Amino acid sequence: MKNRLKFIIPSLFLLLVMTACGNNQINLEHIHGLGYTSDGKQILIPAHNGLVSYSEGQWKSVNAPKHDYMGFQIVDNGFYSSGHPAPDSGLKNPMGIVKSTDLEKHYPS
């Protein structure tokens, strides 16, 4: 049963997210985490194709490089992550540990 829950819960979450997205055409695949910003006003979801945010009742793709963030952890003013860079970024693969210090930018400085 535990093994089934590992697949069922993420699948149900993805179905819920995709339903909530409605006409915004947000595509989440291969989700690597989920976190609230420290002010509690925004949810960030790292996925295989970049970050997606939810705030004020709207889902949005974050206007930032489409890195494949993994090991994603939100902190007071940004986040830590690792993963693979967007194909056109010029960064080495894997990226190693990166830190965003400004949630307005949503990507490592």
φ, ψ of residue 84 to 5 degrees: the values are -115, 140
Specify whether the CB–CB gap between 100 and 88 falls below 8 A. no
Tokens of 52: 């997606």
Tokens of 63: 């206007």
In this prediction, residue 4 carries a pLDDT of 56
How many angstroms separate the CA atoms of 40 and 71, rounded? 20
Domains of the chain, residue spans: 2-100
Weakest-pLDDT range from 8-17, 30-39, 82-91: 8-17
Residue scoring higher pLDDT (9 or 46): 46
pTM: 0.69
Rg of the chain over all Cα atoms, to the nearest angstrom: 14
How many angstroms separate the CA atoms of 47 and 103, rounded? 17
Q: pLDDT, tens digit, for every residue of 44-92? A: 999 888 888 889 988 888 877 889 989 899 988 788 999 999 988 888 9
**Statement: residue 109 has pLDDT above 50:** no
How many angstroms separate the CA atoms of 105 and 86, rounded? 16
Weakest-pLDDT range from 28-32, 86-90, 102-106: 102-106
How many angstroms separate the CA atoms of 91 and 77, rounded? 23
**Statement: residue 107 has pLDDT above 70:** no
**Statement: residue 94 has pLDDT above 60:** yes
Q: Which of the four pLDDT bands, split at 50, 70 and 90, describes residue 23? A: low
